[in-house]
Amino acid sequence: MDTGARMQEEMRRLEREFPGKRVIALPPEDPTEIIAELGGDSGQSAAVAVILRSKPHVHRQTAETYEVEEGELYLFLDGELRVLGPGERLTVQPGQEHWAQGAPTRVRVTSSPPWSAADHILTE
């Protein structure tokens, strides 16, 4: 199965798995990242993401913890490569530039404080 078809299947899988939750394909026309927003409370938010390649970015306030559910994640953190397998996690602190690559890879992302578009600053 080619990558585009695989990402479309992953999107359908997340929609089935999390009915009623918002599932976002980025970019919409040829997704390299699919995110199911699971919600949260005033202190944190959670999402499940299927990542082929995310864009380099930083957060000024948010710390993000990535926990690999399936596959292997190549997480680039301030220019340094970290490789994570199933069950492994890593927390990205505010101000650290990061992006991820997978084949695709499924991860749970917990953000504290909750993720916001205003705090997601692209760096490329």
| CB-CB contact of 46 with 109 (8 Å) | yes
Q: E-assigned strands of 2-116?
A: 23-26, 33-40, 45-53, 57-58, 63-70, 73-77, 80-84, 89-92, 98-112
Instruction: Give the per-residue pLDDT at 70.
Output: 97
- In this predicted structure, what is the pLDDT of residue 57? 96
On whether residue 21 sits in a domain, the answer given is no
For the entire predicted model, the pTM comes to 0.92
Q: Which stretches of the chain drop beneath a pLDDT of 50?
A: none
Per-residue confidence (pLDDT) for residue 41, from 0 to 100: 83
Predicted local confidence at residue 4, as pLDDT = 86
Reduced to 3 states (helix: H, G, I; strand: E, B; else coil), residue 27 is coil
Residue 61 is predicted with a pLDDT of: 96
**CATH code (residue 84):** 2.60.120.10
**Total number of domains in the chain:** 1
Judge whether 67 lies within some domain: yes
Structural domain contains residue 3: no
Integer Rg of the chain from CA: 14
Full domain range(s) for residue 65: 37-122
pLDDT at 32: 94
